[in-house]
Amino acid sequence: MTPLARKRLGKIALNAAGLLVFLFAIFPVYWMASTAFKANDQIFTTDFIPFPTHFTFEHVDRVLNEGVAGHSIWLYMRNSAIVALGTVLIGAVFSLLAATAVARFRFKGRNTFLILLLIVQMIPSEALLIPLFLSVKRLGLYDQLAGLIVVNVGLTLPFGIWMLRTFVAAVPKSLEEAAWIDGAGRMTTFWKVLFPLVAPGLVATSIFSFITAWNELIFALVLMSGSDGYTMPVALQYFFGQKGTDWGAIMASSTMMTIPVVVFFLLVQRRMVSGLVAGAVKG
């Protein structure tokens, strides 16, 4: 076999492997969306039905019109959006400032701080449930969306700081020094020089924070006492009852819940890819 043939065969094998991984990852999403439009007799069957023989909007209509736990499904979507966007905005500010301080300044305990960030990420969130619950209650944020935002910021902040630190460290300090020589102040240099260069990394960390806050269940269930403050993951639990599980409504609600994440990702996917690649190369 010639080198050219081996190279083509290698590309074909690589593309085939990538296609298999893609199909393996996308199949649960496809099955969820297709089940949302299947009739009950096609959902509760032992036969493999990859495509609904006839589309029905019964489950979607029931979720939209009847709501969940006496509230409209849009209330839970709004709560999830407030928590997710609040987590992204607040977390982005603190992550960027902390990452800049860690990457640009040398201070006592810096390495210890970085190690603690890694250790915090290793702790299961369930282990922090009780202390965070007590802290939120003492702050007077129990049963408030602001409490959920604070908790989610705390959960996503270590990853954001650690990742953005790489982006800030990859920016040559000579660029900032050149701006100082031209008469720019520290804040002007930060916003006009450093911020545009680390913006792709900020987008990548924001996507992680958005998805984490959007899908969070445990804290949203524990820190909210009333159903009017629940987010979408908690609302889905109401379809699991003692008499059975309404899989059609679950799949319809899950499909609706997935759409904002997909839209958000499509809007920032280019910056995310460039950010991840830029963060992998230093210098």
Q: Is 213 contained in some domain?
A: yes
Q: Is 19 contained in some domain?
A: no
pLDDT for position 279:
43
Q: Is 28 contained in some domain?
A: no
Q: Average pLDDT across each block of 10 residues of the chain; the chain has 283 residues. List them in order.
A: 80 91 90 87 78 82 83 90 93 91 83 84 85 91 92 91 87 83 82 84 87 91 86 88 79 89 77 51 43
pLDDT for position 162:
87
CATH number of the domain enclosing 174: 1.10.3720.10
Domain limits at 228? Answer: 33-41+56-279
Q: Is 237 contained in some domain?
A: yes
Q: Is 114 contained in some domain?
A: yes
Q: Is 49 contained in some domain?
A: no
Q: Is 11 contained in some domain?
A: no
- Number of structural domains (the chain) is 1
pLDDT for position 201:
84
pLDDT for position 134:
92
Q: Is 172 contained in some domain?
A: yes
pLDDT for position 1:
66
Could you write out the three-class secondary structure of the chain? Answer: CCHHHHHHHHHHHHHHHHHHHHHHHHHHHHHHHHHCCCCHHHHCCCCCCCCCCCCCCHHHHHHHHHCECCECHHHHHHHHHHHHHHHHHHHHHHHHHHHHHHHHCCCCCHHHHHHHHHHHHHCCHHHHHHHHHHHHHHCCCCCCHHHHHHHHHHHHHHHHHHHHHHHHHHCCHHHHHHHHHCCCCHHHHHHHHHHHHHHHHHHHHHHHHHHHHHHCCHHHHHCCCCHHHCCHHHHHHHHEECCEECHHHHHHHHHHHHHHHHHHHHHHHHHHHHHHHHHCCCC
pLDDT for position 264:
79
pLDDT for position 101:
87
